[in-house]
């Protein structure tokens, strides 16, 4: 049966649900658990989404418009059931039907595991983009990897992070996805390159891989918001079809022959758990190539099946590369065009350089990918040759532009020279793409000014900006239904499709009744979070307190340790300054640290130890609470964000490319305390100075201070409050049994030079926090500010981001 919008037939739905429960899950109704019902619900509704998917697929085949292919190693999609119900337009109807059977929809939704096929912002962005592509009926396919284990699950053991594998598919499988065996692709690795003469006596090259694996497609349906469009998110799983390397096996090298197969079978086992940090492992490059080979193969299959010529490829297909992770797709397309289809270099390059566009996500040097020539040359020998050939052409054009300028050549070269040569994937991406974008206005300016100034001169206009966004379907309508209803009462429901309409709330910012209703919704959301915290962590939270939230990956540049220093300053002052008083505040953290990132894990431990002491210190009379919620993931964000009064966006200026957590929180009525970094700059522009708390060094001040020689000890010695805070971390205030146990955080800030300038921004941060505390004291004025944050952040809908890409980069038309 087909369930969609107004066609919904409640009785038929209930009947089918019961039938699936018994006939497919083999459970009798009386004994069915919430989990069984959730599975049955998914199975019933996924029949609809699968047929919608196939319908869109055949519509697209007959269409002659261009399509975007979004290539990403990560899609942090979160749970699908609730969102799909909303986008199918049957949320309320299903809720009613379940109520008839005595079931609560929200209980069933809690049974779904989050498919955590991404690390953080980059992967979540890809997921929001798929929602906005589908909701605006753009022709698109998302291409990613079907990891067997997503990002690890986090728990705390005596305050320290523990990691466990994320078995998101469980034994029953994931109800929304479908395997598409007919789309299977073959992918090679290792081996050598042969030269041969073709029938026209031309010298040609071909790659003879030593190992072949299979890529099996799984399609996840991305349902557009009540518009009949459903797009495939196509995730590739690696199967080893050929477990032995036959040549080596025949040579008698038994162990060696099995080694590559053992590695290959692991290709899509796990997601690398690093955010904004590259590890340079061979298996990671294998994952990247595996994704690109399957996806380029699949899009060429679609293109050629319609009888279209290779030279028309850029007219019908464009590929967006989400960071440098899938950039190996560029030499892969070149290889196929030349070696498999016999095109000459110039024709292949003409096609290639009009097909790809690249999004840069970071300026952090440790996150810019390079691969050693040795690894690339062994794993992908033909691609290595093509990269050298692309670089040769690049060097010719650099010579022409700047004759005799060796330093320009070495700076722009795709090959980094040294004892061991390395391949700079970002340079390859910029050279071969027709457009390159940063992800927020300031970030894109820094890409042009500091990262790629020469490329900006060499390719005028290629470097541009598309500011990130988030989908209002998930990040307002689904996660904050009470706020959504309040908005709809005033404005109608058009804002869900066109977030610009939400600006209409501005008119109610001073309306007392609306302020009360808005703050009542916030309070109820705080209560819901408090209940969860009580249930899971047995900590009581006062919902009259300010809920102050920092939720994001744990990273030095994001400066959770600066937040911690501010908490320590409040603790110190509440205990030592008789006249010091604040409005009660609950500090909420949630963050995963990469398992190999020792300092990040130490910061988690320090926050947990401080929390333990502070939460149990009766002298504070409940003025301060600190909670670190374990296992940060999309579904936890959906619980925390609607409950936030304050959004901590406190990265060192110039380090956070955009941020998207900042946007989700602001839309839900949280006030930002933040630096002039990433999209905070644009949020400030939208909401105005009165409705945001900005502090800290600006990006050029950061650069100047670093150049002058930054000495964090100066701040330690000259600021008594800061000194008191750091001293508490060094003695046994929080670790009575083990003095000095938290010293690594202090060492980083003092002996190791405080690379992210936390101490330089401390005083300014503390001042901004005091201003925020005072502002909260005037509840009427705070309500106005919170309402204006919801009203004035429409720019940060991912619908707008996607329209920017579609109009300025991809040149797409919508299907409707
Ligand atoms: C939005 C989101 C992020 C990104 O948060 P930032 O604050 O922008 O770093 C990371 N993880 C999850 C689960 C998210 O929903």
- What tens digit of pLDDT does each residue of 52-67 get? 999 988 887 778 899 9
Q: Using CA atoms, how far apart are residues 158 and 152, in angstroms rounded to an integer?
A: 19
Domains 64-78+114-433 and 472-697+757-792 share a fold: yes
Res 303: pLDDT: 97
Angle between helices 81-88 and 121-135 (to 10 degrees): 20
Dist. CA 323–CA 271, nearest whole Å:
16
First and final CA of the chain: distance in angstroms?
Answer: 26
Q: What pLDDT is recorded for position 264?
A: 72
Distance 309 CA to ligand 1 centre (A): 41
Q: Which residue has the higher pLDDT, 737 or 531?
A: 531
Strand order of the sheet with strand 370-372? 370-372, 422-424, 415-416
Is the Cα torsion angle 150, 151, 152, 154 positive or negative in sign?
negative
CA angle 11–12–14, rounded 5-degree value: 65
- Per DSSP, 805 falls in state I
The mean pLDDT of 747-771, rounded to a whole number, is: 98
Average pLDDT, whole number, for the chain? 95
pLDDT above 70 covers a percentage of the chain that reads: 96
262-283 burial string, b = 16+ CB within 10 Å, else e?
eebeebbebbbbbbbbbeeeeb
Atom of ligand 1 nearest to the CA of 470: 1
* Residue 247 confidence (pLDDT) above 80: no
Give the least confident one: 112-116, 170-174, 226-230, 269-273. 170-174
Give the angle subtended at the CA of 798 by the CAs of 441 and 303, to the nearest 5°. 105
What is the Cα–Cα distance from 188 to 209, expressed in whole angstroms? Answer: 5
Under 8 Å between Cβ of 261 and 248: no
Instruction: Say if residue 257's pLDDT is above 90.
Output: no
Q: 678 in ligand 1 pocket by Cβ < 6 Å? A: no
Q: Which of 212-221, 265-274, 532-541 has the lowest mean pLDDT?
A: 265-274
pLDDT over 80 (residue 263): no
pLDDT at 248 (0 to 100): 58
Q: Is the CB of 559 under 6 A from ligand 1?
A: no
Q: What pLDDT is stored for residue 380 in this prediction? A: 97
Is 647 touching ligand 1 by the criterion CB < 6 Å? no
Nearest CA to ligand 1 atom 1: 661
Question: Which residue has the CA at smallest separation from atom 11 of ligand 1?
Answer: 120
**pLDDT band per the 50, 70, 90 thresholds, residue 526:** very high
- Could you state, in order of their start, the residue ranges of all structural domains in the chain? 64-78+114-433, 472-697+757-792
Q: Which of 660, 679, 683 to mutate to test the pocket of ligand 1 (most atoms within 8 A of CB)?
A: 660
Ligand 1 close to Cβ of residue 79 (< 6 A): no
Q: Which fold has domain 472-697+757-792?
A: Rossmann fold (3.40.50)
Q: Which of 465, 463, 461, 462 is nearest to 439 (CA)?
A: 465
| Sign of the four-CA dihedral 614, 618, 620, 624 | positive
- Distance in Å, CA 634 to ligand 1 centroid: 8
Look at residue 815 in the predicted model and tell me its pLDDT.
Answer: 72
CB 134 within 8 A of CB 224: yes
| CA–centroid distance, residue 428 to ligand 1 (Å) | 28
Whether the per-residue pLDDT at 241 is higher than 80: the answer is no
For residue 7, the model assigns a pLDDT of 77
Q: Is 637 in the pocket of ligand 1 (CB under 6 A)?
A: yes
Cβ atoms of 667 and 790 closer than 8 Å: yes
The mean pLDDT value for 129-150 works out to 97
Catalytic residues: 361, 552-553, 558, 660, 664
HEC string of 332-372 equals: HHHHHHHHHCCCCHHHHHHHHCCCEEEECCCCCHHHCCEEE
Residue 551 C-alpha to ligand 1 middle, in angstroms? 7
DSSP string across 735-785: -TTSTTTTHHHHHHHTTT--TT-HHHHHHHHHHHHHHHHHHHHSHHHHHHH
pLDDT of residue 758: 98
Please, are residues 603 and 590 in contact by the beta-carbon 8 Å criterion? Answer: no
In the reported structure, the alpha carbon of residue 430 is separated from the centroid of ligand 1 by a whole-number distance in angstroms of 26
The tens digit of pLDDT for each residue in 658-713 reads 999 999 999 999 999 999 999 999 999 999 999 999 999 999 999 999 999 999 99
Average pLDDT over residues 104-126: 97
In this structure, the residue with its CA closest to atom 8 of ligand 1 is 659
- Please indicate whether residue 302, judged by its CB atom, sits closer than 6 Å to ligand 1: no
CA of 251 to the centre of ligand 1 (A): 51
Separation of CA 123 and ligand 1 centre (Å): 9
Q: What band does 242 get if pLDDT is binned at 50, 70 and 90?
A: low
Q: Give the span between the Cα atoms of 166 and 225, in whole angstroms.
A: 29
HEC readout, 441-489: HHHHHHHHHHHCHHHHHHCCCCEEECCCCECHHHHHHHCCHHHHHHHHH
CA-to-CA dists, residue 350 to 67, 72, 319, 432, angstroms: 19, 24, 15, 10
Report which protein residue has its CA nearest ligand 1's atom 4: 121
405-460 pLDDT tens trace: 999 999 999 999 999 999 999 999 999 999 999 999 999 999 999 999 999 999 99
* Model pLDDT, residue 280: 85
Assess whether the C-beta atom of 661 lies below 6 angstroms from ligand 1.
yes
Q: What is the pLDDT of residue 530?
A: 98
Atom of ligand 1 nearest to the CA of 632: 13
Q: What is the mean pLDDT of residues 462-487?
A: 98
CATH superfamily label, 64-78+114-433: Glycogen Phosphorylase B; (3.40.50.2000)
Q: What is the pLDDT of residues 276-327, one digit of tens each?
A: 999 889 999 999 999 999 999 999 999 999 999 999 999 999 999 999 999 9
Contacts of 566 (CB under 8 A, 6+ apart): 762, 765, 766, 769
Residue 252 pLDDT more than 70? no
Residue 250 pLDDT > 70: no
Q: Is 660 in the pocket of ligand 1 (CB under 6 A)?
A: yes
Q: What pLDDT score was predicted for residue 60?
A: 78
Q: Please state, as a whole number, how many other Cβ atoms lie within 10 Å of the Cβ of residue 259.
A: 13
φ, ψ at 355 (rounded to 5°): -105, -40
Ligand 1 pocket residue status of 592, Cβ below 6 Å: no
Rounded to the nearest whole angstrom, what is the distance from the C-alpha of residue 195 to the centroid of ligand 1? 48
Ligand 1 pocket mutation, candidates 78, 118, 166, 637, criterion most atoms within 8 A of CB: 637
Q: Which residue has the tokens 């398992």?
A: 595
Angstrom CA distances, 557 to 368, 420, 560, stand at 15, 29, 8
What pLDDT is attached to residue 427? 98
User: Containing H/E element for 722?
Assistant: helix 720-730
pLDDT greater than 70 at residue 362: yes
């Amino acid at each position: 049966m087909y369930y969609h919008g107004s066609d919904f037939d409640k009785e038929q739905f209930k009947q089918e649900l019961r039938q699936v429960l018994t006939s497919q899950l083999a459970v009798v109704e009386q004994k069915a658990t919430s989990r069984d019902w959730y599975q049955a619900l998914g199975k019933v509704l996924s029949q609809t989404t699968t047929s919608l998917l196939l319908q869109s697929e055949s519509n697209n085949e007959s269409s002659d418009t261009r399509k975007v292919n979004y290539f990403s190693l990560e899609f942090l999609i979160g749970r699908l059931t609730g969102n799909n119900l909303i986008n199918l337009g049957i949320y309320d109807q299903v809720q009613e039907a379940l109520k008839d059977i005595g079931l609560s929809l929200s209980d069933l939704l809690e049974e779904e595991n989050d498919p955590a096929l991404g690390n953080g912002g980059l992967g979540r962005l890809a997921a929001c983009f798929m929602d906005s592509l589908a909701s605006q009926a753009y022709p698109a396919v998302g291409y990613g990897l079907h990891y067997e284990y997503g990002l690890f699950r986090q728990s705390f053991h005596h305050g320290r992070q523990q990691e466990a594998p994320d078995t998101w598919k469980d034994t029953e499988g994931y109800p929304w996805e479908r395997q598409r065996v007919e789309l299977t692709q073959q992918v090679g690795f290792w081996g050598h390159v042969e030269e041969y003469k073709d029938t026209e006596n031309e010298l040609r090259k071909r790659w003879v891989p030593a190992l072949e694996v299979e890529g099996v497609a799984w399609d996840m349906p991305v349902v557009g918001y009540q518009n009949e469009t459903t797009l495939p998110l196509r995730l590739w799983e690696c199967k080893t079809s050929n477990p032995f390397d036959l040549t080596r096996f025949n040579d008698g090298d038994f162990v060696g022959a099995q080694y590559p197969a053992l590695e290959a079978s692991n290709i899509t086992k796990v997601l690398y758990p690093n955010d904004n940090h590259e590890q340079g492992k061979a298996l990671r490059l294998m994952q990247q190539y595996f994704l690109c080979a399957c996806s380029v193969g699949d899009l060429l299959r679609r293109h050629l099946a319609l009888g279209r010529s290779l030279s028309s490829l850029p007219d019908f297909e464009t590929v967006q590369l989400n960071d440098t992770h899938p950039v190996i797709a560029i030499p892969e397309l070149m290889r196929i065009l030349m070696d498999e289809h016999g095109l000459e270099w110039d024709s292949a390059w003409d096609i290639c350089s009009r097909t790809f566009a690249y999004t840069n996500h970071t300026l952090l040097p440790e996150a810019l990918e390079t691969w050693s020539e040795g690894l690339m040359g062994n794993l992908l020998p033909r691609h290595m040759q093509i990269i050298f050939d692309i670089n040769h052409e690049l060097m010719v054009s650099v010579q022409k532009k700047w004759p005799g300028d060796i330093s320009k050549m070495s700076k722009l070269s795709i090959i980094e020279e040294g004892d061991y040569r390395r391949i700079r994937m970002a340079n390859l991406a910029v050279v071969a793409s027709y457009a390159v974008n940063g992800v927020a206005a300031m970030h894109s300016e820094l890409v042009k000014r500091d990262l790629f100034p020469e490329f900006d001169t060499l390719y005028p206009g290629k470097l541009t900006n598309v500011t990130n966004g988030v989908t209002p379907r998930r990040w307002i309508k689904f996660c904050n239904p009470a706020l959504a209803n309040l908005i709809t009462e005033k404005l109608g429901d058009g804002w869900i499709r066109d977030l610009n309409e939400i600006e209409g709330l501005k008119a109610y910012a001073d309306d007392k009744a609306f302020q009360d209703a808005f703050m009542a919704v916030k309070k109820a959301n705080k209560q819901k979070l408090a209940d969860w915290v009580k249930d899971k962590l047995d900590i009581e939270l006062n919902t009259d307190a300010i809920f102050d939230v920092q939720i994001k990956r744990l990273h030095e540049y994001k400066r959770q340790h600066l937040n911690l220093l501010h908490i320590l300053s409040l603790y110190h002052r509440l205990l030592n300054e008789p006249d010091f008083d604040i409005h009660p505040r609950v500090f909420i953290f949630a963050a995963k640290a990469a398992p190999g990132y020792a300092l990040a894990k130490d910061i988690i431990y320090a926050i947990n130890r401080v929390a333990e002491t502070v939460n149990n210190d009766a002298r504070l009379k409940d003025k301060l609470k600190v909670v670190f919620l374990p296992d940060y993931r999309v579904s936890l964000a959906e619980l925390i964000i609607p409950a936030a009064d304050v959004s901590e966006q406190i990265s060192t200026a110039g380090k956070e490319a955009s941020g998207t957590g900042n946007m989700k929180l602001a839309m839900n009525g949280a006030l930002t305390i933040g630096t002039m970094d990433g999209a905070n700059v644009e949020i400030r522009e939208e909401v105005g100075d009165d409705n945001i708390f900005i502090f800290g060094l600006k990006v050029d001040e950061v650069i100047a201070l670093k150049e002058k020689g930054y000495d964090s000890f100066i701040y330690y010695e000259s600021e008594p409050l800061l000194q008191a805070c750091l001293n508490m971390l060094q003695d046994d205030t929080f670790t009575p049994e083990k003095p000095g146990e938290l010293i690594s955080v202090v060492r980083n800030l003092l002996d190791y030079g405080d690379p992210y300038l936390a101490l330089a921004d401390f005083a300014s941060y503390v001042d901004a926090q005091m201003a925020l505390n005072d502002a909260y004291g005037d509840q009427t004025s705070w309500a106005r500010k919170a309402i204006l944050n919801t009203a004035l952040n429409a720019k940060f809908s991912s619908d707008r981001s996607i329209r920017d890409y579609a109009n300025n980069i991809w040149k797409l038309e919508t299907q409707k």
